[in-house]
Amino acid sequence: MRIQSSLIYILLMTILISIIPANKAMAAPGVSANAAVLIEQESGRVIFGKHEHEKRRIASITKIMTAILAVESGKMDETVTVSKNAEGTEGSSLYLIAGEKIKLRDLVYGLMLRSGNDSAVAIAEHVGGSVEGFSYLMNQKAEEIGMKNTNFRNPHGLDTHEDHYSSAYDMAILTRYAMLNKEYEEIAGTKVHRAPHPEGKWDRVWKNKNKLVTGLYKYSTGGKTGYTKRAKRTLVSTASKDGMNLIAVTLNAPGDWNDHIAMFDYTFKNYELVKVLDKGVISKIKDPFYKNKVYYNHDFSYPVLKGEESKFKVKINLLTAKESWKSPEDIPVPVGKAFIYLGDSVIGEQSIFFETENMPPPKESFLDIFKNLFFTFMGLASHG
C-alpha cells in the first residue's frame, strides 16, 4: 500500500507541475557550448550568457575583425597582389596563387564565406603592411570598442600563437559594432559570391559555409563559422525578426547550429523590443529656456520580457542655462543627458541637444553611435 500511495503522490505532483506556468527565465535554452552569449544588437542587452567573459581560443571567427578593418580601410576597390606568404597559409583556403591580382572586396567575401586563411593574410598585408602590423590594428580597434578579454596575434585564428584569444561576450561586441556597417552586413549575409579567376577561364564561386544563412534558419542574417583542433567549433551568427536584431556567439560547441537556433527562438518568443525614447523634441521639458528646443537625435529601444516594460524610468539632467549663452554658438553640445533605467539599473543614456534654426543637432559618426549606445553589462546576470 505504501508503494502504491507513493506512486499516486508522484503522479499527482507530475500533473500539478505540468499545469503550473513555467517561469520564463527557467525556460532559457541549454546550450552545448562551453561558453556562449546572446545579446540584442541595438541595446547590447545580454539575454543569455554562459561563461561569456572567459578568455578562450576563437578560431576563424577572428576573421570578423579582419573583415571590418578591411571594409573600414577605404581600400575595398584596390587590387591586391597575393604574396608567397599568403599563398602558403595552412588550413581552409581560397587557393590563391602567389602573384595573382584580386580586388580587396573579393578577398573579404572569400574570407567571410569560405574562411580563406590565405585571404586573411593577403588582406592583412595589404591593409596593415604586414601580419604583425595588421594585428596591431586589430588590437587597437578591440580596445576602442571595449573588448576587454581579447588579444589578437593573427588575422585568421589559426592556433599559431598561445596568446591569441577572446571571449564570447567580446565577440558579440565586435559583431555588434561590425553590423552597424552596411557593407559588412551585406557581406556577412551573402549566400554565394562570384569572383574572377586569375586565369580568366571561369569565375570562382564561393558558397557560404554558414548553414544558418544558407537555409537552416529562416531568420538568419549573417555570421561567421570557425574551427581548429584546439578551439573546436566556434560560431557567431545574427538573426532578425519583427524588428528585433540578435547576435549569438558560441565557443567550443559540439551542437552549435542547434545552440544558436535555441537561443534565437527563446528570445524571439519571450522578449519584445520597446521604444523608450523617440527621436525629436522632448515634450516634457518645462524650463522656459529649453522648452520645445531640446531634442534626442535618435530613438532608444530596449528588449524586455513581456510585462517588464512598466519598469522603465527616464531621468533627464540638463545644464543650468547661463546668461553668457547669448548666441547659439555659446550653448554647449550636448546640453544634457537622459538616463534610462530598468528598475534600479541604468541601462542606457542619451545625449540631449539644443536646436535653433542656425544650429541643428550634430550628426554622429559610425563609431560615435556605437559608443553612445554601448554599455558593458558586466554586473548583469543572464536574462537580466
Q: Note the pTM of the prediction, 2 decimals.
A: 0.84
Residue ranges of the chain with per-residue pLDDT less than 70: 1-28, 356-384
| pLDDT tens-digit readout, 201-240 | 889 999 999 999 999 999 999 999 999 999 999 999 999 9
The reply to whether 378 falls in a domain is no
CA distance 25 to 29: 9
Distance of CA 209 to the CA centre of its chain: 19
Shared-domain flag, residues 172 and 143: yes
User: What domain range includes position 136?
Assistant: 31-271
CB of 33 within 8 A of CB of 234?
no
Domain with residue 243: its CATH number is 3.40.710.10
Shared-domain flag, residues 292 and 265: no
The reply to whether 24 falls in a domain is no
Residue 60 among the catalytic residues: yes
| pLDDT tens-digit readout, 315-350 | 999 999 888 888 878 888 899 999 999 999 999 999
Q: What is the pLDDT of residue 59?
A: 98
Shared-domain flag, residues 110 and 135: yes
Q: What is the pLDDT of residue 367?
A: 60
The reply to whether 188 falls in a domain is yes
Residue 32 among the catalytic residues: no
The reply to whether 319 falls in a domain is yes
Shared-domain flag, residues 117 and 241: yes
- Listed residues 271, 291, 310: the one ending a domain: 271
Shared-domain flag, residues 267 and 285: no
Q: What is the pLDDT of residue 7?
A: 44
Q: Which of 43, 50, 60, 209 is catalytic?
A: 60
Shared-domain flag, residues 215 and 180: yes
Q: What is the pLDDT of residue 199?
A: 77
Domain with residue 351: its CATH number is 2.30.140.30
Shared-domain flag, residues 247 and 204: yes
CA distance 262 to 252: 16
Q: What is the pLDDT of residue 378?
A: 37
Residue 229 among the catalytic residues: no
Q: Which of 43, 50, 92, 115 is catalytic?
A: 115
Number of domains present in the structure of the chain:
2
Q: Which of 63, 209, 224, 232 is catalytic?
A: 63
**Residue 96 DSSP class:** -
For residue 339, list its beta bridge partners.
Answer: 315, 349
Shared-domain flag, residues 47 and 179: yes
CA distance 56 to 50: 13
The reply to whether 131 falls in a domain is yes
